[in-house]
Amino acid sequence: MGFKIENNILLKYTGNEKEIIIPKGVIEIAENAFKKTSITKVVIPNTVKKIGMTAFMNCMELESVKLSNNLEELEPGLFSGCVKLNKIKIPDGIVRIKRAVFDYCFSLEKINIPDSVEVIEAYAFDACVSLKKINLPDSVIEIEDNAFEKCINLKKVLIPLSVREIGTDVFKDCESLNMVLVPIGLDFYMESLPEDCKVFGYGMAFFDDGQSISRLDIDTTFNVPDQFTKINGFSCCSDLKTINISKNISEIDKESFDTCYNLEEINVDDDNPYYSSVEGVLYNKEKTILIRYPENKKDKTFIVPDSVTEIADKAFFSCNLIEKIIISDKVTDIGRGAFWINSALKEINISPDNINFTSVDGVFYNKDKTVLITFPPAKEIKEFIVPQSVNLIPDLAFDGCDYLESVTIPEGIQALFTGTFQQSHNLKEINLPNSLEMIYVATFMGCKSLEKIVIPKNVKLIGLAAFVDCSNLKMIKAPKELDLGEACVPKECKIIRY
């Protein structure tokens, strides 16, 4: 198998096998033993108690690792640069996740940190651009500088009450981060957070009211106690199905229910003077603003009531059962991200009499069709030509469009913003205009069927992880001066300069 082993220490792997099972009896893997090899899978027996630093560094094809249950440490840089690593379990008993262990693991979407871990060292998860959620156990007492830097898809973080020290720039360049819950009294460095990220202090609750209740380890129903007047978040309440809001609540943060994946209804006391609900949907008292549609509400079609003039930011965020939304001519304002990440959504239909917005075949535009706001992810067409009138396509406009195979972008478009086509798994062809100048972060992330792309000559910037997890990308034609260094181009992809 190409193992160099001395005194039960695996010193070097020199073989050509892709899937590796390390022999039982090996007690240690030396530093750099597999560094820069082309292995795709490795199984490490429980006899191994130590793996040297950078042992698997820059294994660009490595996808899956089974670690020994008897490891004592995760040494610095252990899996650094393993850009395809997507499956790994940190063993129970690990106390420290050392410096840069998982940095630049672009494909790592989730990882469970065991409740033995006390310290997460600097850059431990730096540039894990696919990481969407991180659950920090109550055992963690210290998080060092830049631990989660450039985790661009991380949205919410709860810092456990156990944490006593947290470094600077822990979440630097986490551009999707919109909420951090921090224990009251913890010295937390906020300067490098995104401008719109909210930081809430908490004691034992997610309510900002000078009082506290036990942390929301709740079952399926939660009744907000009468003594509270504000709700700032139900982060991590994945089991919550029903929330009953009392008459005394006067303020609800707009992102309070973002991670309530099973939430079916939000009910408001009839005597509440600020908020109301109809069939589990949250509105302001006058029902002129639709604030939140529960993520797991079972209805496939929703007609926005005629009383509504505004649909709030992220009102339908991550509502993965709804297929059709009908909007009247009374709606004059639709907030940012109102229809983001709706995997079952097939059409958004807007009244032709609406003065600010329109829809064509279920695709959502502003009225003069200069901005394509949302292409429904479940719309069942294979080819789409963006209308010539469109000059702006915002963030996540085509996110998760699994039916699309070909998209043509018209002249006039100058930028493709963050995540424009991310996770559109069947997209094979994208025709870009000569007017294009910038391709931002994670624009094509997860476009696994994309085989080739021609980048126009006027493009001056390609953002971080633009092509991460584009596993079938075989050819990129790009201007000779264009820097592709951080775009995460697959190793086997041929780059043709012109």
Please, are residues 122 and 116 in contact by the beta-carbon 8 Å criterion?
Answer: no
What pLDDT does residue 214 have? 32
pLDDT per residue of the chain (498 residues) written in tens, 0 to 9: 689 999 999 999 999 999 999 999 999 999 999 999 999 999 999 999 999 999 999 999 999 999 999 998 899 999 999 999 998 999 999 999 999 999 999 999 988 899 999 999 999 999 999 998 888 998 999 999 999 999 999 988 888 888 999 999 999 999 999 888 787 667 888 888 888 887 766 544 444 444 433 334 445 787 877 777 877 666 556 678 899 999 998 988 777 787 678 899 999 999 999 999 999 999 999 999 999 999 999 999 999 999 999 999 999 999 989 999 999 999 999 999 999 989 999 999 999 999 999 999 999 999 999 999 999 999 999 999 999 999 999 999 999 999 999 999 999 999 999 999 999 999 999 999 999 999 999 999 999 999 999 999 999 999 988 999 899 999 999 999 999 988 999 989 999 999
What pLDDT does residue 174 have? 94
What pLDDT does residue 210 have? 42
Calculate the average pLDDT of the chain: 91
What pLDDT does residue 219 have? 54
What pLDDT does residue 376 have? 97
DSSP single-letter state for residue 251:
E
What pLDDT does residue 144 have? 96
Reported pTM: 0.65
Place of tokens 């915002």: 394
Beta strands in 23-125 (DSSP E): 28-29, 41-43, 50-51, 64-66, 87-88, 96-97, 110-112, 119-120
What pLDDT does residue 35 have? 95
Query: Three-state secondary structure along 383-428?
Result: EEECCCCCCECCCCCCCCCCCCCEEECCCCCCEECCCCCCCCCCCC
> Long-range contacts for 107-111 (Cβ within 8 Å, ≥24 apart)?
107/63, 107/83, 107/468, 107/469
Q: For 331, left (φ over 0), alpha (ψ -120 to 50), or beta?
A: beta
Amino acid at 430: I
What pLDDT does residue 237 have? 62
The Cα-based distances of 237 to 163, 218, 282 in angstroms read: 21, 7, 18
Torsion angles phi and psi, residue 178, rounded to 5:
-120, -5
Place of tokens 């055992």: 139
What pLDDT does residue 178 have? 85
Beta strands in 429-478 (DSSP E): 429-431, 438-439, 452-454, 461-462, 475-478
Query: Three-state secondary structure along 252-287?
Result: ECCCCCCCCCCCCEEEECCCCCCEEEECCEEEECCC
Torsion angles phi and psi, residue 446, rounded to 5:
80, 10
What pLDDT does residue 257 have? 81
Please, are residues 3 and 24 in contact by the beta-carbon 8 Å criterion?
Answer: no
What pLDDT does residue 203 have? 46
207-225: per-residue pLDDT in tens?
Answer: 444 443 333 444 578 787 7
| Lookup: tokens for 354 | 């609406």
What pLDDT does residue 229 have? 80
- Four-residue CA torsion sign, 477, 386, 417, 342: negative
